[in-house]
């Protein structure tokens, strides 16, 4: 377990900008729309 704890401790922390984006409802809704549009395109392409 010591190696795992060391790896976790050495992992980079998110910046304030990243944390703000993760907590923003507007940003999350935009990401939600983007991933759904990508899935829609793939599904639509597969059916033709």
Q: Is residue 7 part of a domain?
A: no
What is the residue range of 29's domain? 14-47
Q: Is residue 29 part of a domain?
A: yes
DSSP state string for 17-38 = HHHHHHH-HHHHHHHHHHHHHH
0.95 exceeded by pTM: no
Q: Is residue 9 part of a domain?
A: no
pLDDT of residue 45: 87
**Lowest mean pLDDT segment, chosen from 2-6, 8-12, 31-35, 39-43:** 2-6
Q: Is residue 5 part of a domain?
A: no
Mean pLDDT value of segment 6-26:
94
Q: Is residue 41 part of a domain?
A: yes
11 in Cβ contact with 17 (< 8 Å) = no
pLDDT of residue 10: 92
Q: Is residue 3 part of a domain?
A: no
pLDDT of residue 48: 61
Q: Is residue 18 part of a domain?
A: yes
Query: What is the domain count for the chain?
Result: 1
∠ CA 34-29-37, rounded to 5° = 20
């Amino acid at each position: 377990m010591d190696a795992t704890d060391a790896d976790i401790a050495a992992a980079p922390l998110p910046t304030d900008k990243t944390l703000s984006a993760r907590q923003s409802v507007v940003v999350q809704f935009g990401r939600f729309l983007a991933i759904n549009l990508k899935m829609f395109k793939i599904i639509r392409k597969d059916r033709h």
